[in-house]
Chains A and B, each alone.
Chain A
Amino acid sequence: MRSSRYSLWQLLRHGYLGGGPWPRAWRAAQPKQRYDVVIVGGGGHGLATAFYLARQHGLKNIAVLERGWLGGGNSGRNTQAVRSNYYHPQSARFYERSLRLYESLGSELNINIMLSQRGVVTLAHSDHEMDSMRRWCNAIRLNGIDSELVSLAELYEIEPQLNRAGRFPIVGAFIQRRGGIVRHDAVVWGYARAASALGVDIIEQCAVESLEVFNGRVRGVRTRLGLIEAGQVALTAAGQTNRLLEPLGLQLPIVCSTLQAMVTEPVKPLLRTLINSPTVHVYLSQSDHGEIVIGGGTDGYDSYVQRGSLPTLQANAAAATELVPALKQLKILRTWAGVVDITPDTSPIIGRLPFEGLSVNAGWGTGGFKAIPAGGEALAATIATGHEPEIVAPFGLNRFEGGHLIDESAAAGVAH
């Protein structure tokens, strides 16, 4: 694993000396007739699950089935934010585990995931908001996670481009300095390459049409490429989860909606941190390439369309320029959207389902990217040991029946 695959020498060899095409990062596998574990969905969570199953639990006969191309869904459509500034202890523990795993993921997978812990700033626009932020910030610190209140003077020192005379004046902020951004494609490719090297079959262009269940036990999946038998099936398919479960008479409490993002043309360094404003509903950061990456709220109605609506785009642009007026001079280069699977409490659903051998990792809604390492690790442990590890025990489907919701609707930073 610790090869010199992308070393300086290899770059020179391929770039200047004509070393031929780069070797494939993962094998192009053909489906076998049977696997011990079939994972439906080749996004970050599915690939991470496969990797940890092989790496931490020694399972070898695993397939990841992807209907399109790897990371072509929400794993490649998010705004790359990683952070663990969550209010409730259950969430804090989980997302902190995920951030810790991100901090060592580059060396674990031997790929540069471009982790940039530049700090995540959440703005307050009124004294009341500042009060609740104080409480939020303290709760995060009590959970053992770094979080600091920032005065207005300090804030303008960190981000001099922030508006000083806005329609919604900024009064303060809090920052998680260990939060930041990660290159999302690298995470997908890194997990795929590492899983493939451990013997996992990654099969793209292989849409799963239905689950095969017999006598309450999952037997396999019916795909575009035929029937594949499986000892266990894990669903990491976000908005497609309910489509697969519906014929079994089972539904997760998920509502799918469209969430869009955009980038401006690239400019010189302008923003240092990832800025997030719950009041004007926007978050923005500058990529290493120089584009300003802007995200906001969902389009506001149920949808499976991977294209955003114009009014939401306008609202996001207006909010971004309210926070950083200098952005008014920039052109929007590109916009895109993904289908987010939102639960009633905006916390995920991870664990076994009431069919033997069937488990799920879904309902991440607008915040699944930051959860990829811990989500994959927890689902892998569930599959390998037959029960959910303690860290995700509170996130089971049964929490809705008992009313034990983990309401993180505030943690998204932006209302969805």
Chain B
Amino acid sequence: MLRINCPHCGFRDETEFRYGGPAGVVRPTGPERAAWVRYLYWRRNPAGENAELWLHASGCRRWLELRRDTRTNVILGVRDGTPNPEPVA
């Protein structure tokens, strides 16, 4: 069980949150194929510190940005985050 220290609500169980993938995903502005392929299919997936988004879905409904070590699940920091652009299906 992850315990996430929401800056607005305090420590809460992971079940209150929804994982939103890596933070800082930028949608391509031009039509270059390589950039779109990368945007659509490739995701940063480090074994180690990961900057990632979590939505406090059953809490304050705000997007948070966590720094979490994906090898140990230790949460290194929490702050307010910016949601990624909506994926284009």
Interface residues of A, Cβ cutoff 8 Å to B: 239, 242-243, 251, 253-256, 300-305, 309-311, 344, 400-401
Q: For B52, what are the chain A residues with a Cβ–Cβ distance below 8 Å?
A: 301-302
Residues of chain B at interface, number, CB under 8 A: 23
B42 to chain A, nearest CB (A): 5
Beyond A303-B70, A304-B71, A311-B1, whether A400 also contacts B45 by CB under 8 A is no
User: What total of A-B pairs shows CB separation below 8 Å?
Assistant: 48
Contacts A/B (CB < 8 Å), 13 sampled: A253-B41, A256-B47, A301-B52, A302-B19, A303-B70, A304-B47, A305-B71, A305-B72, A309-B2, A344-B41, A400-B41, A401-B33, A401-B37
**Which residues between 66 and 89 of chain B lie within 8 Å of chain A, taking CB atoms?**
70-73
Q: Does chain A have a CB within 8 A of B15?
A: yes
- B45 partner, pick from A254, A300, A309, beta carbons under 8 A: A254
A408 to chain B, nearest CB (A): 15
Interface residues of B, Cβ cutoff 8 Å to A: 1-2, 13-15, 19, 21-22, 33-34, 37, 40-43, 45, 47, 50, 52, 70-73
Please, how many angstroms separate the alpha-carbon atoms of A302 and B67 in the complex? 12
Q: For B22, what are the chain A residues with a Cβ–Cβ distance below 8 Å?
A: 302
- B70 partner, pick from A254, A302, A400, beta carbons under 8 A: A302
Query: Chain B binding site: helix, strand, loop or mixed by DSSP?
Result: mixed
Contact between chains at A305 and B2 (CB < 8 Å): no
Which residue of A242, A253, A301, A344 has the most chain B CB atoms within 10 A of its CB atom? A301
The 9 closest A-B pairs by CB, nearest first: A301-B19, A253-B41, A304-B47, A344-B41, A310-B1, A400-B41, A253-B42, A304-B71, A255-B45
Query: Chain A binding site: helix, strand, loop or mixed by DSSP?
Result: mixed
Q: Which residue of B lies closest to A240 (CB)?
A: B47
Q: Which residue of A lies closest to B71 (CB)?
A: A304
Contact between chains at B73 and A302 (CB < 8 Å): no
Q: For B42, what are the chain A residues with a Cβ–Cβ distance below 8 Å?
A: 251, 253
Contact between chains at B50 and A302 (CB < 8 Å): yes
Q: Which residue of B lies closest to A339 (CB)?
A: B47
Contact between chains at A344 and B40 (CB < 8 Å): yes
Please, how many angstroms separate the alpha-carbon atoms of A401 and B33 in the complex? 8
Please, how many angstroms separate the alpha-carbon atoms of A309 and B14 in the complex? 10
Please, how many angstroms separate the alpha-carbon atoms of A79 and B52 in the complex? 30
Q: For A302, what are the chain B residues with a Cβ–Cβ distance below 8 Å?
A: 19, 21-22, 45, 50, 52, 70
Please, how many angstroms separate the alpha-carbon atoms of A239 and B70 in the complex? 12
Please, how many angstroms separate the alpha-carbon atoms of A253 and B38 in the complex? 9
Q: Which residue of A lies closest to B13 (CB)?
A: A311
Q: For B40, what are the chain A residues with a Cβ–Cβ distance below 8 Å?
A: 344, 400
Please, how many angstroms separate the alpha-carbon atoms of A344 and B47 in the complex? 19
18 more A-B residue pairs beyond the given contacts A303-B70, A309-B1, A311-B15, with a C-beta to C-beta distance below 8 A = A239-B47, A242-B45, A254-B45, A255-B43, A256-B47, A301-B52, A302-B22, A302-B45, A302-B52, A304-B47, A305-B70, A305-B73, A309-B14, A310-B1, A311-B1, A400-B40, A401-B33, A401-B34
